[in-house]
Chain A
């Protein structure tokens, strides 16, 4: 039995998991803040404490995410696309498409039964295609992200946003508030607009079912429902959807150690 660590440093949040071989043992999430090295250290300390281990018990650590370079104690780095695919494959081996809805970008990944990436695309250029759109409007509505989904679920007639731009969408939300439109209808409108943008990204790559979602956006159940309607398919939602990429990183740590030791025996 061996312990492995996966650390995913994102632009908004940093996530980490410890696995026992490829089984999830403990996880931790914290804001990335301005110092990514500090965030990485804090996650390691917390994971070790939660698992009742010492640093030396961890056989290998893999870092991923846009801030992976800051995880100075990691043995190696892996691409976040590969990690997300491996993570989702561990929980839903049947999934052939995964939609990772993060703050900075939305990524759509196609994968085979072994969790190997066959194709992917990302919405990196425009905030209106990522969770950032919701953060911008949540700020206008003065609501937290956890409340956002609940607000949207209470909507009776979602507003239609006339723009595909998060900046113009922000002005539009302010105008709608001044016209007396309810917070619920605005929140639901943003969810719907974002779901539409994500669905067109998915269609670019062609959807192969079953399809799973992960990333912080998967916690927004109203958004996931909109996306299911847009794509006319049910979506698999893993427990702790924000941890999938970190989980994939730990699994990569575990499997590469396993293949190395196999290599030694063969010699």
Chain B
């Protein structure tokens, strides 16, 4: 018996496959893109290939993320908040707070006994999301993945006075032309984003253990900046992008096991890996 979680985010699509015991078998990360929202089947096919499984082998499939309705073969849809909470607590049983910073939003979640109890999110302003770093990295002509490492070399943090991403972009250009060192500017940018996310998180109350997920968790400069601002240790999963899909796979397994325990049958979708159309979506 096998289970699958598929997380269709705004920038990346993630699939996790587990076995009967909940052990991770394979995972795939691929860009979402506009048409890929219709092509969840492609990512699933790759993940199945990696684990040498067929789609018929999968007992139950849960889809999550902002494109979760575009997965015709998924048996159930669960919000990404519940899936993230579940995925993180499977990796860090003592986690009480999760901060997920993606390319398009930032979410802060509080967990008790492995369940989501409350959350706050920002999807209104790019300045509080990974987008802030993406835009400024492009302005500074450096690769996003190098940003954090370079920021660690800073001898001081240049404070960034503009809150808006677009105004910060022009501030960064002015700072460079004044001869400010790249690493010092980067340290300032990381601090600016961290302080915005921290303000969001404090609305919820931050309690350790604190886990940072999402693409931004891969940035070592952000992990450092968040730790400094929140004054606590920041735990980061080995694959910070996968916690949503992992939680979905765990919830798929739990749903299936629960139903089996009481002898109830679960309705499942056709196991044909077809592309989503507007007509095949659930009403």
Contact = CB atoms under 8 A, between A and B. Distances in A.
B164 A127 contact: yes
Interface stretch (B88-96, B124-132, B261-269, B272-280): B124-132
Interface in A98-130: 104, 125-128
A34 interface: yes
B163 A127 contact: no
A178 B34 contact: yes
Contacts of B125: 126, 164-165
A162 B170 CA distance: 25
Contacts of A165: 124-127, 165
Contact of A125 (B104, B124, B163, B170): B163
A127 B167 contact: yes
- Centre residue among B34, B104, B167, B177 by max chain A CB count within 10 A: B167
A163 B105 CA distance: 12
Contacts of A72: none
B163 A168 contact: no
Contact of A126 (B104, B135, B163, B177): B163
Nearest to A167: B126
B120 interface: no
Nearest to B173: A34
Interface string A117-158: 000000001111000100010000000000000000000000
Given A34-B177, A175-B34, A178-B34, A163 B166 contact: no
A167 B163 contact: no
B111 to A, nearest CB: 28
A132 B166 contact: yes
Interface residues of B, number: 16
Contacts of A81: none
A166 interface: yes
A136 B166 contact: yes
A167 B135 CA distance: 9
Contacts of B177: 34
Contacts of B126: 165-168
Interface string B237-267: 0000000000000000000000000000000
A142 B188 CA distance: 32
A134 to B, nearest CB: 12
Contacts of A166: 126, 164-166
A168 to B, nearest CB: 6
A167 B166 contact: yes
Interface string B58-98: 00000000000000000000000000000000000000000
A53 B109 CA distance: 68
A127 B164 CA distance: 6
Interface string B174-216: 0001000000000000000000000000000000000000000
Interface string B144-183: 0000000000000000001111110010000001000000
Nearest to A123: B164
Nearest to B174: A34
B34 A104 contact: no
Interface in B39-53: none
Interface string A30-50: 000010000000000000000
A139 B249 CA distance: 43
A126 B164 contact: yes
Contacts of A104: 167
Contacts of B165: 127, 165-167
Nearest to A136: B166
A11 B166 CA distance: 13
Contact of A168 (B34, B104, B162, B170): B104
A126 B126 CA distance: 10
A226 B170 CA distance: 28
A98 to B, nearest CB: 23
- Centre residue among B131, B162, B166 by max chain A CB count within 10 A: B166
- Centre residue among A128, A136, A175, A178 by max chain B CB count within 10 A: A128
Contacts of B135: 167
Contacts of A127: 164-167
A163 B177 CA distance: 32
Contacts of B34: 175, 178
B170 to A, nearest CB: 8
Interface of A: 11, 34, 104, 125-128, 132, 136, 163-168, 175, 178
Given A166-B165, A167-B165, 14 more contacts: A11-B170, A104-B167, A126-B125, A127-B165, A127-B167, A136-B166, A163-B124, A164-B125, A165-B125, A165-B165, A166-B126, A166-B166, A168-B104, A168-B131
| Minimum-distance CB pairs A-B, first 5 | A167-B126, A127-B166, A167-B165, A127-B164, A125-B163
